[in-house]
Structure 1
Amino acid sequence: MAKVSFLGLGVMGYPMAGHLAAAGHDVTVYNRTAAKAEKWAAQHGGKAAPTPKAAAEGQDFVMCCVGNDDDLRAVVLGDDGAFAGMASGTVFVDHTTASAQVARELQAAGKAAGIGFVDAPVSGGQAGAENGQLGIMCGGEQADYDRAEPVMQVYAKACRLLGGPGAGQLTKMVNQICIAGLVQGLSEGVDFAQKAGLDAEAVFDVITKGAAGSWQMENRHKTMLADEFEFGFAVDWMRKDLGICLDEAKRNGARLPVTALVDQFYGEVQDMGGGRWDTSSLLRRLKR
């Protein structure tokens, strides 16, 4: 078993760190709100540290899941950052959904200090984190991935190295681009079925088994039909992710017309007060 620290105990990080402790790893946690770290330590029997540096000292691996590029730099770099406490030969694994640019930046900074860095954003949402069933998309050097992969498997349904530094983040962008179009299509389908006077529950019970079926349809159509959105992956987070996708597309020349349009639609949902609603709340925009 390894000595592992986990930085960031949000809706994803809290259960992910819990899986590490349950698997027998020696886990130390850090959270910007210290009370949450203390709560986790009391619940799971690990330790809480006052700074990312203190959490990282003496650890074999440092795992991280925070909000965005700036949050990531804040917990990694500087006098109190994780890199300041990590020894040569250790590995930092970042589960944040961030830019490929920051992944490459931190991988280079880590390499200069003898620290491995794997960008490893996840997919599967809060339920996937709680059930240990996340898809993990990784970028980095093979040797660093090979060392970290057994630790990540504790909360993974699938885990794969997809290329060099930044490849994990680029793959997560593909994931979010695909989801954006799927959720908009599903919203239009639900709205159409209801306005056509169909038994929408029966409709989706049938079409989930055919070519239109998707994770979003299987897991969201019932709550959409019930007009329930106070859960799940927040619109605010999706807009952050789609902004990363659109910025990267400007750099690499990819055309994302549907993604850009759905991003605008999510902006309208935010204007409706739905920033914390699940992404399936695109349906409410159609019913205004």
Structure 2
Amino acid sequence: MDFLIIFNANIDVKSQYLSLETFGRRTSIRLDDQSRRPLIPLHARHATIVPPHSTMAILASTPISFLSAYFMPTSSFIEDPNLSSTQKIVTVQHHHSRLLVTNSSDAPEHIPEFFCFGYLLSNPVGSQNFFNQIALLCRRYNEKKNQQTFNRTVTYSQLPQRLFNDSKCFYRSTPSINHVTLNTLPHFSSQFQQTRDLLVNHLLDHDNKDRLLALLAQFSQLFDNSRHNISNIVVENVFNTVPHSPPSFRPHRNPHHREETQRLIDEFLEAGMIQESNSPYAAPAFIVPRKDNRPGRLVV
């Protein structure tokens, strides 16, 4: 909200425009929804060196979390004399996918970070003929989008290029194609997978089940209860009191909760959530019981 007020922002929902006022000038920006694009860009996630006469699974990223679609390479990737890919279908999971790229030359090839390999069809197609037709019609569109991507993220020196004139200094050429897989998709802990399955097993509609799985995977860190999460809270309001001695009260004795209280305190100390203090001020701690015979909650 502070951002909208400072820049006197106006949002036109119907026209999908956002306008901001800076230094007396108003700038309009079109809101581009990535999920509504007919073509989804596929970028290299990391800079990678492809050895000569080898095929590597390059880790790529997209703005779409889950998708299985046809892959249409850009003209610059198609016209590269050394790099190529015969992969037609690309499956995206958690915004990541793997694209098989072959280097047919005698020297290693460098693929820079954020390099645009091509685009994925966001809408499913009915036949291979339709794919060939749309690939032909979208060739100019791909070139335009790829040029915009290069202008923003990739310089000319970062395009796929041959790194060394003498490949024997680093690699030994082999007559056959070696399949190497270096980049892998992200994995989730078994505990999260079990919790996720318990949340979606009751759903009978497969479409709703897939949507919920995608949503849970997107916010998987929120469901990770294997370790304690410490929030960095910014204190905006501080009450400065008059210096005085702390009041004295009788301690609250809970002998039946002593072991449970000590166990939770030791656990929080080990996790770094609390620390020992010699302050004269103190607050009582209680164990609040839970339902279903679960361990109690420590409340201060």
Greater percentage in strand: 2
Give the alignment's TM-score, normalised by structure 2.
Answer: 0.20
Greater percentage in helix: 1
Give the alignment's TM-score, normalised by structure 1.
Answer: 0.21
The structure that has the greater radius of gyration is 2
